Every structure is written in structure tokens, then in C-alpha cells.
Amino acid sequence: MDKLQAPNPEYGQVVCVLWDLPVPRGGDRGVIIAGMRVLGIESSCDETGVAVYDTDLAGSAALRAHAVYSQIALHAEYGGVVPELASRDHVRKLLPLVRQTLAEAGLGVGDIDGVAYTAGPGLVGALLVGAGVARSLAWALEVPAVGVHHMEGHLLAPLMEDDPPEAPFVALLVSGGHTQLVAVDAIGQYRLLGETLDDAAGEAFDKTAKMMGLPYPGGPQLARLAEQGTPGVYRFARPMTDRPGLDFSFSGLKTQVLMAWRDSDQSEQTRADIARGFEDAVVETLSIKCERALEAAGTNVIVVAGGVGANKRLRARLQQMAERLGGRACFPRPALCTDNGAMIAFAGALRLQAGQHNPPKVDVTPRWDMATLPAV
Ligand code: KG4
Ligand code: ZN
């Protein structure tokens, strides 16, 4: 959600040292620790997510429980996320959600072997709530804690499903704040191949939906409306596909849609037809660039994650494209495409198992380049 962050560069990293204690039990770097039950906490924006990931179990069974509380209703009347309201609501919801998730997993708090929390990128106040709770729990339980990069969480989410792909592969990260193509050479080793020069794909969905009078957040609603639309009635540009390169630009497309909507009869059917034309343009653009990225990286496995990864047409289109290349497209189940605690528990578990954890301080990084992450 980088578009929502405070521009003040001082917020690049926020650290509050609460305890000057030795790091509790946990392995040394490079030593894989078996059998960890990791509590994951996500609070980077407007969803409070909690999960327990059990590294002793295989495939999707390893996710013992997960719960998400969405703040959509809270922010709806403002037409977007209000950071202060988001932080306060995380304060209200986080501990009850931790209790609920542990109960669903059939575990007591003492059964937790490690805690993972989103340390960035995101809204500074919202991140601090999750980091504060995670750090306090880890300290009280004397277990290690690790700060997870939110986008790495999204990127690794498809690996929680059965029959997960192995690196190297290309990841398409499509959320409300990001549209990125990333070459994944190994877990923790990421190379940015291309990204949006302006709006993120999810942001384009949300803004286009708003222009056509759909309530916030419009992305999923616009996709639902597009189901009723007739393909081809409106045809919009496939931005930046007529030249080489792996970057994206979606803001011009949004303007094209605005003009088409203004000049139309604004009937229900027209709205659906425009929604379909818009969705087809975004899906085809993403698919063209994914195919190019696979070629550039020399692989035929594409992993898709982030909120827009829940889009049915995008899933079908990328599946077709990957199969044509003799490869595969891997997605998390739709509920794990949007923000959730499961992806944070999983990404954190991989790092904790490798002996990686952070010193005992509340430490968040609202702006954070994924390429700077250490290898696992
Ligand atoms: O990953 P996410 O939950 O939050 C961020 O980290 O941004 O992504 C949210 C974004 C929103 O822009 C939302 O409109 C979009 O994902 N989204 C969709 C669909 N479901 C969620 N966009 C298109 N089609 C969908 N089915
Ligand atoms: Zn996200």
C-alpha cells in the first residue's frame, strides 16, 4: 500500500527498543529448525489477519487456522483507507483474533514456537500495532520473532498450497499498492523485472469502479459486474504492450474508461460492458507482460499473488498462457490472495526455520525494497 504511506523519509524505518534482552531460544543462521508452530500477524493496512502455520504438517494441512477481520465497512464512507482509524481498529481486533485463531487451531498460547509479523511495507501506525503485539507475545513466551516483508508474504502464499512450485519461477504481484514482475531465483532472492510506472492494477480496478459509481473497494465488484458485460463492445488500450519492456502503466486506461463512461448512456448494461472492456484490457496486458517475463527469465512457471490474483478471468488467462508454454500458473486460493495472516505465518516460518529472527525491539519499515531481503 505504498501510495498511502507518509512521504516523510524519516518514516523509512521506525524502531522502538523496548527491551534490551538476549534473543530467546532459536537456531543459528543456516540451521533448519524442525517442528515449529508459527503465529502470523498481518496489520499493514485495512485487514487484521492472524494464522498458525505448523511446519510439521505437509501441504495445505500445515495451515492449522487462519482468520481475517476486514475493516472495509469502517473506511467505506471515506472512499479509502483512513490510516488513524485503521490503527485503532487493529488495536481493537488483534488480540481477540489471536485468541480465536489459537482456539480454532486447537492450541494454547504456550504451544507457539515463533511469531511472524508484517514489518512493512504499509501504514506506519497499523504496522506498529501488529509489531507491538507480536514482539510482546514473543518476549513473554520466550520464542523468536521475525518481521516479514508484506510482498514476500504475498509472493510465497501460492507455495502453501498442495503441489507447490519450486524456484526458479517468475512472480506476478498484483495488489492495491503494487504491480510487479519478480524473478525468484530462490526463496529470499528476488530480482525486480518490471513494475508499474503509475497506478497499481488493483488501484486501477478500484478507481475505475469508483468512477462508475460502485462502492469502495470497487475491484471485486467491478469484476462481478464484468461477468454481465458483453466482450468487445468496449475495447480499451493494452498499455505499453506495443514496445519492449516489462513495466506497466494503468493510469491512462483509467482515463479512457472515464471518457467512455461520460459519453455513454450510463445504463446498467453499458456499465457492465465497460467493466468487461476494462477487465479484458488489464488481464490481457498482465498476460502479455507475464509471457515476456517468463521468456526473459528462462522459465515457464508463473506464480501469481496479491488481491488482483483473485480475479477469475486473470487466473484463467494466465493458466492458458502457461500451459501453452508447457509450464504452469500457480495461485493461492482466492481467500489467500488478499491480505491475510497465513502468508505472514508461512513466510516467517521459512525464515525462523532457517534460524533468522530479529532482535527484541518493535521495528517496522514502512518503505522496504524486497530486493534487499536476505536469502533464506
Ligand atoms: O493484496 P490486497 O488485499 O491488498 C494490498 O496489499 O493492496 O489487494 C487488494 C486489491 C484491491 O485493489 C482490490 O480491489 C483488488 O485487490 N481485488 C481485485 C479482486 N479482488 C480484490 N481486483 C480485481 N478482481 C478481483 N476479483
Ligand atoms: Zn497486500
pLDDT digits (tens, 9 = 90+) for 295-330: 999 999 999 999 999 999 999 999 999 999 999 999
- Nearest protein CA to atom 13 of ligand 1, as residue: 219
Confidence at residue 10, expressed as pLDDT on a 0 to 100 scale: 44
CA distance 297 to 173: 16
Q: Which ligand is nearest to the CA of 308?
A: 1
Alpha-helical segments (H) within the chain: 72-76, 83-105, 124-141, 150-156, 201-211, 218-226, 251-262, 268-297, 312-324, 342-353
Of 173, 151, 183, 159, the C-alpha closest to 350 is: 159
Ligand 1 atom closest to residue 218's alpha carbon, by position in its atom list: 14
Above 60 in pLDDT, residue 17? Answer: no
Q: Give me the pLDDT at residue 25, please.
A: 47
Q: How confident is the model at residue 16 (pLDDT cuts 50, 70, 90)?
A: low
CA dist 103 and 252 (Å) reads 48
Q: Indicate if 255 and 321 belong to the same structural domain.
A: yes
83 and 198 both lie in a single domain:
no
Check whether residue 230 and residue 291 sit in a common domain.
Answer: yes
Question: Which pLDDT does position 58 carry in this prediction?
Answer: 86
pLDDT band at 24 (very low <50, low <70, confident <90, very high): very low
Ligand closest to CA 336: 1
* Alpha carbon of 363 to ligand 2 centroid (Å): 19
Q: Given a cut of 60, is residue 11 above it in pLDDT? A: no
pLDDT at 363: 87
So what's the pLDDT on residue 29?
Answer: 41
User: Average model confidence (pLDDT) for the chain?
Assistant: 92
* 164 CA distance to ligand 1 middle (Å): 23
Note the Cα 77 to chain centre separation in Å. Answer: 24
122 close to ligand 1 (CB < 6 Angstrom):
no
State whether 301 and 358 are in the same domain.
no
> Angle CA(119)–CA(124)–CA(127) in degrees, nearest 5?
40
Over residues 26-70, the pLDDT tens digits come to: 444 445 667 899 999 999 999 999 999 999 998 889 999 999 999
Domain boundary among 331, 347, 362: 331
* 272 neighbors 142 (Cβ within 8 angstroms): no
**What mean pLDDT comes out for the span 241-268?**
96
Q: How far is the CA of 283 from the centre of ligand 1 (A)?
A: 14
Domain that holds residue 204: 166-331
Q: Report d(CA 126, CA 121) in Å as an integer.
A: 11
pLDDT at residue 135, rounded to an integer: 97
Structural domains counted in the chain: 2
Q: What's the confidence (pLDDT) of residue 178?
A: 93
What is the Å distance from ligand 1's center to 178 Cα?
Answer: 10
Is the pLDDT confidence value at 3 over 70?
Answer: no
Confidence of residue 166 (pLDDT cuts 50, 70, 90): very high
Answer whether 302's CB lies under 8 Å from 317's CB.
Answer: no
Best CA proximity match to 274, nearest among 310, 313, 235: 235
Same domain, 149 and 280: no
- The helices-and-strands tally (H runs, E runs) of the chain is 10, 12
277 shares a domain with 130: no
For residue 125 and ligand 1, the question of a CB distance below 6 A is answered with no
Give the C-alpha separation, 197 to 248, whole Å. Answer: 6
* Percentage of the chain exceeding pLDDT 70: 91
**Is the domain of 139 the same as that of 213?**
no
| 216 — pLDDT class (breaks 50, 70, 90) | confident
CATH number at residue 11: 3.30.420.40
* CA distance to 2, 331, 334, per residue, from 314 (Å): 23, 11, 12
Q: Does the pLDDT value for residue 22 go beyond 90?
A: no
Instruction: Please report the pLDDT score of residue 360 as a whole number.
Output: 87
Ligand 1 neighbourhood includes 307 CB (under 6 angstroms): yes
Same domain, 254 and 216: yes
Q: Is 54 in the pocket of ligand 1 (CB under 6 A)?
A: no
pLDDT the model gives residue 20: 42
Instruction: Tell whether the model's pLDDT for residue 275 goes beyond 70.
Output: yes
Same domain, yes or no: 98 and 52: yes
Q: How confident is the model at residue 88 (pLDDT cuts 50, 70, 90)?
A: very high
pTM score: 0.90
Mean pLDDT of 152-172: 96
Instruction: Print burial letters for 105-128: b (CB count within 10 Å at least 16), e (below 16).
Output: bebeeeebbbbbbbbbbbbbbbbb
- Cα 353 vs. chain centroid, distance in angstroms? 22
In short, whether 283's Cβ falls inside 6 Å of ligand 1 is no
Q: Is the CB of 310 under 6 A from ligand 1?
A: yes
Examine the domain organization and report whether 26 and 118 are in the same domain: yes
Q: Is 1 in the pocket of ligand 1 (CB under 6 A)?
A: yes
pLDDT for the residue 225: 97
Radius of gyration, alpha carbons of the chain: 21
Residue 156 CA to ligand 2 centre (angstroms): 12
Q: How far is the CA of 141 from the centre of ligand 1 (A)?
A: 35
* Backbone φ and ψ of 108, nearest 5°: -95, 165
Ligand that comes closest to the CA of residue 202: 1
Per-residue pLDDT band for 97 (boundaries 50, 70, 90) equals very high
pLDDT for position 14: 60
Q: What is the pLDDT of residue 223?
A: 98
Same domain membership, residue 153 and residue 8: yes
For residue 202, the CA-to-ligand 1 centroid distance in Å is 5
Same structural domain for residues 182 and 261? yes
Q: What backbone phi and psi angles, to 5 degrees, belong to 170?
A: -105, 140
Give mean pLDDT, residues 213-220: 90
